[in-house]
């Protein structure tokens, strides 16, 4: 975020509408969590039907304004990698709650390649087969 008053700080989340209770909870919790990371004001959830990134989305959407880059202290805080990681984890954790997902307990992921094909149709068929067997994250590189 940015403001002409360089003393302004805080986190806010913008939504197009407040008609989605799950999204409202996500936005409110995210504001609370990020404000604690930087020890700044929780400016809360804001509604706007003018922001292009929200009004042109065909699903519930939220725009997260982590802090005000126009504030020199916010800029310093946003240049600390541990703060950025903490914000990313707060977003991740709140998304996990929003969608009722299970958290991954390890940072280690292993990729598996199951073939290389000259014919694209063979690759497509292999992805279909993998997905049919439950590997929903299968894709063509």
> Which tokens in the block code for residue 53?
């990134």
In this structure, are 63 and 36 located in the same domain? yes
Residues 94 and 131 in one domain: no
Note every long-range contact of 111-116, with CB atoms under 8 Å and residues 24 or more positions apart, other chains counting: 114/138
One domain for residues 36 and 90: yes
Residues 134, 92 share a domain: no
Q: What are the helix and strand counts (H, E) for the chain?
A: 5, 3
Query: What is the per-residue burial (b if ≥16 Cβ within 10 Å, else e) of 64-102?
Result: bbbbbebbeebeebbeeeebeebbeebbeebeeebeeee
Reported as a single tens digit per residue, the pLDDT across 24-71 is 999 999 999 999 999 999 999 999 989 988 988 888 899 999 999 999
**Residue 44, in any domain of the structure:** yes
* pTM given for the model: 0.73
pLDDT of residue 106: 79
Element (H, E) at 85: helix 81-99
Q: pLDDT, tens digit, for every residue of 115-125?
A: 899 999 999 99
For residues 105-124, average pLDDT? 87
Structurally, the chain folds into a number of domains equal to: 2
pLDDT number for residue 66: 97
Look at residue 132 and tell me if it is in a domain. Answer: yes
What does the DSSP assignment read for 21-68? HHHHHHHHHHHHHHHHHHT--EEEEEE-S--HHHHT-SS--EEEE-S-
Reported as type and span, the H/E element at residue 70 is: none
Does the pLDDT value for residue 97 go beyond 80? yes
State whether residue 139 is helix, strand or coil: coil
54 shares its domain with 25: yes
């Amino acid at each position: 975020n940015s403001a002409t008053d360089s003393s302004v700080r805080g986190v806010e989340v913008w939504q197009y509408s407040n008609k989605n209770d799950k999204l409202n909870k996500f936005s409110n919790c995210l504001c609370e969590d990020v404000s604690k990371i930087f020890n700044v004001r929780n400016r809360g959830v804001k509604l706007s039907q003018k922001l292009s990134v929200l009004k042109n989305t065909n699903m519930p959407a939220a725009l997260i304004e982590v802090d005000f880059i126009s504030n020199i202290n916010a800029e310093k805080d946003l240049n600390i990698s541990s703060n950025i990681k903490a914000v990313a984890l707060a977003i991740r954790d709140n998304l996990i709650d929003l969608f009722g997902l299970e958290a991954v307990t390890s940072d280690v992921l292993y990729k598996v390649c199951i073939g290389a094909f000259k014919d694209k149709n063979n690759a497509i068929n292999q992805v279909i087969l993998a997905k049919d067997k439950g590997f929903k994250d299968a894709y063509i590189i």
